[in-house]
Structure 1
Amino acid sequence: MPPSPYTVITGASAGLGKEFTIQCARAGMNLILIALPGTYTKELANSLISTFGIAVEVFEFDLTDSAQLKKQLEHIVAHFPVNFLINNAGTGGTSAIRETSTERIDQIIQLNVRSTVMITHQLIPHLLKHERSYIMNISSMAAFTPIAFKTVYPASKAFIASFSHGLREELSSTGLSISVVHPGPIMTNSNTSRRVISQGMKGKMGLLPTSAIASIALRKTLAGYPTIIPGLMNKLNHLLMTLLPLELKLKIVSREVRKEMQYQPS
């Protein structure tokens, strides 16, 4: 009997990644959790093992560290069969480009773009060994329009959407299904919560519980949906944005995002 397959989840220790971890464990999936050191991921893994009786492996390292990324991926593909990849890890924020450090810009690109592509590229041959396999890439509602005072973040998420759709078409004759998820605002920590609240009703319109976002994303990814937008208000918002001229939607969204500036950590 072949060994049971695993689901790989990046950014698994908190927020949406942690919710994916819990829901996948509840569904009986064996897990490979990737997270930063010191994020209590091993404690989470032990809890899932005892609660759900699944196998869980933990890899704690920084995805922006190219050498570590290569080393750990080589170990994973050599020792574990993988049939589901959830590229969840990402970072963003709100700041004027002139006040944003080169290091911060590079971190966003390295984590949101490079690590996602490299992990996907390394795992595709192993995903294709299974009759059915899946990739879920987490983008954002921000991918649908450029945004001032974020600039690099929505561009990185637009890249993820484009990358996912191109990959899906390229592999359409295989058993590997690729989906891209566009969550709206997620109140994962106090700083994010303050930024969402600062936008008033407009900021909260697309707000869903993290558990609901994860549930919708998992169900529709496993059903083979190419694009997943959780929540009715987010779907309506996307429809509206497709009807507006670029210049207008850029001004509208950027004006609201500018309100977040006061809540950025110093």
Structure 2
Amino acid sequence: MTYTLITGAGSGLGRAFAVECARRRKNLVLFSLPGSNLESLAAELKTEYGIKVQCYEFDLRDTDALQLYASTVTDQFNIDFLISNAGIGGTSALTDTPLERIDDIIQLNVRSTSLLTRLLIPHLLKQPSSYILNVSSMAAFTPIAYKTVYPASKAFISSFSLGLREEFAGTGLSVSVLYPGPIMTNSNTSRRIIHQGMKGKMGLLSTSDIARIAVKKTLSRYPVIIPGMMNKLNQFLMWFLPLGFRLRLVSKEVKKEMQWSAT
């Protein structure tokens, strides 16, 4: 009996991953922050899909807790699929961004993803076939002013994932990286997308659609997953636009977000 481990499973895309994997009759181990009400989600998935679900609510930035729960999970369950989805961002001028917020982005997006991957890989390699799906972002394809740390963290996830894929080529472990476009994951993000009109909605897909595409392609061992034709087109154009031009173009649009974005 194998399990899929999903981080950030309490809401948004992480919750959609849980539902999609449950729909595929995959047993689940769910990680999320305290107060995420994972038990309620687990009860729904158990009832509807007849699967087994184990929940752990803790802060992934807490290294001791991360090591403890990773050890607990690998001792008790056969994990053959890791979905590292947990992450945070934000839009603000760097000088207006609290140091704690910068540290949170780096700790969660970069550090916890790297450490959890390191802790799980020896276990994943024991399975005949295993998978890692890391969630990056379309923001990984270009630097962006007024976000600065977030796209840099997602570029790290992209490089980290593709490097791992090559490192473990020839084993049963396949590593994929997902680059979603805009997602209405919370009220602040939704308000920003709505205010941007058609430009904000370009590449917009539902969390359930993104999860369905991402899980299907990961299990088919695709290295790079860009959901939606508009996002594929945007990524293609980014390769041809000079760096300075695309940096100014994207940053100009992002600057408009600041009146709707909380630091």
| 1:262 pairs with 2:235 | no
Partner Cα separation in structure 2 for residue 199 and residue 121 of structure 1: 39
Structure 1 partner of 2:13:
16
| 1:69 pairs with 2:66 | yes
Structure 2 partner of 1:131:
128
Q: Alignment partner for residue 231 of structure 1, among 205, 228, 231? A: 228
Partner Cα separation in structure 1 for residue 56 and residue 26 of structure 2: 17
Partner Cα separation in structure 2 for residue 198 and residue 238 of structure 1: 23
Q: Alignment partner for residue 156 of structure 1, among 153, 169, 172? A: 153
Deviation of 1:52 (Å):
1.1
Partner Cα separation in structure 2 for residue 253 and residue 190 of structure 1: 22
Paired residue total: 263
| 1:194 pairs with 2:226 | no
Deviation of 1:201 (Å):
1.6
Structure 2 partner of 1:46:
43
Provide the secondary structure at the position in 2 that maps to 1:25: helix
Deviation of 1:66 (Å):
1.2
1:199–1:257 Cα contact (<8 Å) kept: no
Structure 1 partner of 2:104:
107
Partner Cα separation in structure 1 for residue 207 and residue 111 of structure 2: 25
Q: Alignment partner for residue 243 of structure 1, among 231, 240, 245? A: 240
> Identical aligned pairs, as a percentage?
62
Unmatched tracts of structure 1, length 5 or more: none
Partner Cα separation in structure 1 for residue 136 and residue 195 of structure 2: 23
Structure 1 length as normaliser, TM-score?
0.97
Q: Alignment partner for residue 89 of structure 1, among 86, 90, 93? A: 86
1:198–1:259 Cα contact (<8 Å) kept: no
Provide the secondary structure at the position in 1 that maps to 2:80: strand
Deviation of 1:50 (Å):
1.5
| 1:30 pairs with 2:24 | no
Deviation of 1:47 (Å):
1.3
Partner Cα separation in structure 2 for residue 89 and residue 115 of structure 1: 9
Deviation of 1:197 (Å):
2.1
1:138-153 paired onto structure 2 within 5 Å: 138-153=135-150
| 1:173 pairs with 2:170 | yes
